[in-house]
Chains A and B, each alone.
Chain A
Amino acid sequence: MTARALISVPPKTKRGEVVEIKALISHPMESGYRVGPNGTRIPRDIIREFACTYNGEEIFRAELSPAIAANPFLSFCTIATESGTLAFRWSGDNGFAATETAEITVE
């Protein structure tokens, strides 16, 4: 199954308002430090980077580390300036890449 993401953005808001954005994605975030049942180390498989753009302009970026739990949840705020699209991008080990978009209407 492919990675599944849950995005929460207020669908409607007023200009200048501070809005909270939440992004949750399914990922095992295998740290690379655990040992499997056969005694060999389980190779690292984590998300390395997350970025969010608002109408093309980057508003939030995070670098993820092996210490972050499975299914990472990120929440951040931005100022609603204009109606448009929020685009989310996760990328990581083993060529992991996922994208998601959400629409926001500013009145």
Chain B
Amino acid sequence: MILPRRFCGWLTAAATLLASSVAAAADIPAAERRSGYEFMGRETRAMQDDDAANPGMLSVLDGEALWRRAEGPAGKSCASCHGEAHASMRSVAARYPAFDTARGRPVDLEGRINLCRTERQEGPALAYESRELLALTAYVAYQSRGQPIAVAEDPKTRPFLAAGREIFERRQGQLNLSCAQCHDDNWGQRLAGVPIPQAHPTGYPVYRLEWQSLGSLQRRLRNCFVGMRAEPYPNDAPEIVELELYLAWRARGLPIETPAVRP
């Protein structure tokens, strides 16, 4: 993969900026927790605010059609079990990633949809980043718009939260950076003119203008890993779900914005 020159410039700036901040800052206090929305420009905010202009809404409409479509040999649709999503799926996305007893570890929303797909509808799992999986995830998460993120913090999830935090704070990659160095210690600063947000997963799947499409949190995280020149985790790796869980816990209280627009 060839990195655009602009991106390499960022990384040099990142290395210079972060070399000076060795001491790890504490967690961001609740009063200072801010969604990535607040770091965006006026035009991008307007695009997210207007459902008639937000391209993510096209996927939400696709997701609604998929919700009602019967799939697999069982001939069941999501609606056959869950009924109307606006009632049954309200606030659900705000609790994800959630602990799955059968698997003994947390699963994210995409993972849960695929579990339903393989175990209940008895069909093949949807591919990660496929239009169908993104649309269904967006439709389910859209039902929680405005609800505060509230993942469970209990004896079952605590070891996974700790593992996610460890990944967030561990220096990795050829640039020897951790997620925390940018997003805990230096949020609000600029990297080559681009504001560093606090990295709260409030609006996933997001419509990213750079991607010209909707994309998952896992895709966004892989972007960061590649940016640090670290090896990205594969789709649905246990580590990336732990990181997603920690990020959701770190963003607790912030409202869900799905489908958000990001530059």
Q: Taking beta carbons and an 8 Å cutoff, which residues of A are in contact with B?
A: 1, 4-8, 22, 24-26, 28-29, 69-71, 73, 75
Known pairs A69-B212, A70-B212; A8 contacts B61 (CB<8 A):
no
> Do A6 and B61 have beta carbons less than 8 Å apart?
yes
Report the nearest B residue to A29, measured CB to CB. B212
CB proximity of A32 to chain B, nearest CB, Å: 15
> Do B62 and A73 have beta carbons less than 8 Å apart?
no
CB proximity of B151 to chain A, nearest CB, Å: 31
Residues of B within 8 A of A5 (CB): 58
Whole-angstrom CA separation of A25 from B61 in the bound complex: 12
> Do A22 and B53 have beta carbons less than 8 Å apart?
yes
Report the nearest B residue to A70, measured CB to CB. B212
> Do B52 and A24 have beta carbons less than 8 Å apart?
yes
> Do A4 and B52 have beta carbons less than 8 Å apart?
no
Number of B positions contacting A (CB below 8 A) = 15
Known pairs A22-B53, A24-B52; A4 contacts B58 (CB<8 A):
yes
Whole-angstrom CA separation of A1 from B213 in the bound complex: 15
Whole-angstrom CA separation of A75 from B50 in the bound complex: 12
> Do A24 and B58 have beta carbons less than 8 Å apart?
yes
Residues of A within 8 A of B212 (CB): 28-29, 69-71
> Do B58 and A26 have beta carbons less than 8 Å apart?
yes
CB proximity of A64 to chain B, nearest CB, Å: 15
Tell me if B251 is interfacial: C-beta within 8 Å of chain A.
no
> Do B131 and A1 have beta carbons less than 8 Å apart?
yes
Q: Taking beta carbons and an 8 Å cutoff, which residues of B are in contact with A?
A: 50-53, 55, 57-59, 61-62, 65, 131, 209, 212-213
Whole-angstrom CA separation of A30 from B51 in the bound complex: 24
Residues of A within 8 A of B65 (CB): 1
Report the nearest A residue to B209, measured CB to CB. A69
Whole-angstrom CA separation of A22 from B131 in the bound complex: 24
CB proximity of B34 to chain A, nearest CB, Å: 27
> Do B58 and A1 have beta carbons less than 8 Å apart?
no
Whole-angstrom CA separation of A14 from B127 in the bound complex: 49
> Do B213 and A8 have beta carbons less than 8 Å apart?
no
> Do B52 and A70 have beta carbons less than 8 Å apart?
no
> Do B62 and A1 have beta carbons less than 8 Å apart?
yes
Whole-angstrom CA separation of A73 from B47 in the bound complex: 10
CB proximity of B145 to chain A, nearest CB, Å: 16
CB-contact partner of A26 in B50, B51, B53, B55, under 8 A = B55
Interface centre among B58, B61, B65, B209 (most CB of A within 10 A): B58
Residues of B within 8 A of A29 (CB): 212
Report the nearest B residue to A7, measured CB to CB. B52
CB proximity of A46 to chain B, nearest CB, Å: 13
Residues of A within 8 A of B51 (CB): 6
Whole-angstrom CA separation of A47 from B163 in the bound complex: 47
Residues of B within 8 A of A6 (CB): 51-52, 57-58, 61
CB-contact partner of B52 in A22, A26, A71, under 8 A = A22
Interface centre among A6, A69, A70, A73 (most CB of B within 10 A): A6
CB proximity of A25 to chain B, nearest CB, Å: 8
